[in-house]
Chains A and B, each alone.
Chain A
Amino acid sequence: MKSVIRGGVAAIAVFTAYAAQADEEANLVVNEEIEITVRTDAPAHLENLRTIYSGWVFRSDETQSLQMDDFENPGMIFVDEAIEAWNTVEGSAGESCASCHGAPEEMAGVRAVYPKWNEEAEEVRTVAMQVNGCRTERMGAEAWKYDGGDMLNMEALIASVSRGMTVNVAIDGPAQSMWEMGRDLYYTRTGQLDLSCANCHEDNYGNNIRADHLSQGHINGFPTYRLKNAKLNGVQSRFRGCVRDTRAETYGVGVEEMIALELYVASRGNGLSVEGPAVRN
């Protein structure tokens, strides 16, 4: 009898998940205060899309609502952890993040323009690279693992203070060659399934692929709390998951190709709002 009940529950759960299609017309306001742009005109460099949509609009009502209140958003727990790390002195220089930067809120606007060309280092840097730059060069502390827990927590904190600000990643000037590399990677079909990012996220957004509702693949919500693995997920690790699913050999996190792809994909979302830490499937 028990197994029958369980079977019934499972069937209902499956049905609910199937029936719970996204409300693609919904608007996102966080804490009844921060207005998030979830749909807007595509940036001029995007030739094949007229309108860009946040991944939030493709999720179920239940998932959408988790991001509307910081007490409901599981990603905010990690932001709290990062506030502690922000104020903790580490490394040989006797510094914390706070001793140079002040309150985390001083970082408002940073996430919106990254990845970004760093003049001194003469390279395009992601937020993670910049954090590790601070740690190793200014604090005399150990670098954090790329997309590891400490780093994702800090990235979530840095993103959270920019929520509602418009993504505006520079694609010209010294960043242009990396941006072009990223664009080429975006349109390159990889693996035995022979799929590019564009095949799913440009040509088929809004369509279901088995039980998955395909989004446009924007990264304005990263780091993202995924219900699937109940933790924060980094952008480049997410890219790896997608590429792996084409039965391809992936690139590692933190390598040039991944940085280029992150820059390019970030720029596709120019005009949306910073949402991190967002809640997704």
Chain B
Amino acid sequence: MKRVIGASVAIAIATVGFAEGVGTDDVVYGEYGEVEVSLSGQPGNAEAGLEIMVARGKGNCIACHQVTALDEYPFHGEVGPSLDGIGAYRTAEELRGIVANPKMTYEGTIMPAFYRISGFTRPGNGFTGKAAEGALSPLLTAQEIEDVVAYLQTLKD
């Protein structure tokens, strides 16, 4: 009996946890892969987003994308397009969808999905090379994605 109560408490907490935001399996993508609502239910913080853009253990966006505004951080990649000016020609909704799961916008893209935890082949336990134990965590949290989106919106030219 205790176990049952424990489980229902866990579900209740989970439900409360997602009440303000969107879980990884509940993201609604539009026709072109855009996502209308904030994943965390909160606005993003562009300054925090910048840190996530350049941190190897976080978004590490510049591993693949060149960003002139981030020139002081060394080693920008060439795998993806430059993000210069992306805030001028992409909406927040489009950017959110692309960061959360770019395959919904660009079929077959090399870019990883930062807010997805299922549908992978041989998912591992982080970078250990061993099998994943239990459910995966998304590469970025809902709020971290909102922060990145807020930063990307500042890239106007």
- Which secondary structure dominates chain A's binding surface? loop
Docked-complex contact A250 and B78, CB < 8 angstroms: no
Does B41 sit at the interface, judged by CB under 8 A? no
Docked-complex contact A195 and B112, CB < 8 angstroms: yes
Docked-complex contact A250 and B124, CB < 8 angstroms: yes
The digit string for B115-139, where 1 denotes a CB below 8 A from any CB of A, is 0010011111111111110001001
Closest chain B residue, CB of each to CB of A252 = B129
Docked-complex contact A210 and B75, CB < 8 angstroms: yes
What's the minimum C-beta distance from B134 to chain A, rounded to whole angstroms?
13
Docked-complex contact B121 and A244, CB < 8 angstroms: no
B interface, how many residues as a size bin?
A: 20 to 34
Q: A190-B120, A192-B123, A249-B123 are contacts. A207–B78 as well, Cβ < 8 Å?
A: yes
Q: A204-B110, A210-B60 are contacts. A191–B124 as well, Cβ < 8 Å?
A: yes
Complex Cα distance, B110 from A246, in Å, reads 12
Does A189 sit at the interface, judged by CB under 8 A? yes
Contacts of A208 in B (CB 8 A): 75-79
Docked-complex contact B78 and A191, CB < 8 angstroms: no
Complex Cα distance, B120 from A195, in Å, reads 10
Contacts of A200 in B (CB 8 A): 79, 110
Contacts of A207 in B (CB 8 A): 77-79
Does A248 sit at the interface, judged by CB under 8 A? yes
Contacts of A204 in B (CB 8 A): 79, 110
Docked-complex contact B110 and A247, CB < 8 angstroms: no
Docked-complex contact A244 and B79, CB < 8 angstroms: no
Docked-complex contact B78 and A189, CB < 8 angstroms: no
Does A211 sit at the interface, judged by CB under 8 A? yes
Does A95 sit at the interface, judged by CB under 8 A? no
Residue from the set A14, A192, A207, A211 with the largest chain B CB neighbour count within 10 Å:
A192
Complex Cα distance, B77 from A203, in Å, reads 14
Contact partner, A209, options B74, B77, B136, Cβ 8 Å:
B77
Docked-complex contact B123 and A247, CB < 8 angstroms: yes
Complex Cα distance, B60 from A244, in Å, reads 17
Closest chain A residue, CB of each to CB of B119 = A194
Does A18 sit at the interface, judged by CB under 8 A? yes
What's the minimum C-beta distance from A230 to chain B, rounded to whole angstroms?
21
Number of A residues contacting the other chain (C-beta, 8 Å)?
A: 29
A-B contact count (CB 8 A): 85
Docked-complex contact A14 and B74, CB < 8 angstroms: yes
List residues of A (182-201) whose CB comes within 8 Å of B's CBs: 188-195, 199-200
List residues of A (220-272) whose CB comes within 8 Å of B's CBs: 240, 243-250
Complex Cα distance, B117 from A94, in Å, reads 57
Docked-complex contact A244 and B112, CB < 8 angstroms: no
Complex Cα distance, B125 from A250, in Å, reads 10
Complex Cα distance, B123 from A155, in Å, reads 32
List residues of A (59-86) whose CB comes within 8 Å of B's CBs: none
Complex Cα distance, B124 from A203, in Å, reads 24
Complex Cα distance, B64 from A211, in Å, reads 10
Docked-complex contact A209 and B121, CB < 8 angstroms: no
What's the minimum C-beta distance from B130 to chain A, rounded to whole angstroms?
6
Contacts of B129 in A (CB 8 A): 240, 243-244, 248-250
Contact partner, B75, options A189, A199, A211, A249, Cβ 8 Å:
A211
Docked-complex contact A247 and B127, CB < 8 angstroms: yes
The digit string for B32-73, where 1 denotes a CB below 8 A from any CB of A, is 000000000000000000000000100010111000000000
Complex Cα distance, B79 from A14, in Å, reads 21
Does B113 sit at the interface, judged by CB under 8 A? yes
What's the minimum C-beta distance from A12 to chain B, rounded to whole angstroms?
12
Name the 5 nearest CB pairs between A and B, nearest first: A244-B129, A210-B63, A207-B78, A211-B75, A250-B129
6 contacts between A and B (CB under 8 A): A192-B117, A194-B112, A207-B79, A209-B79, A248-B123, A249-B132
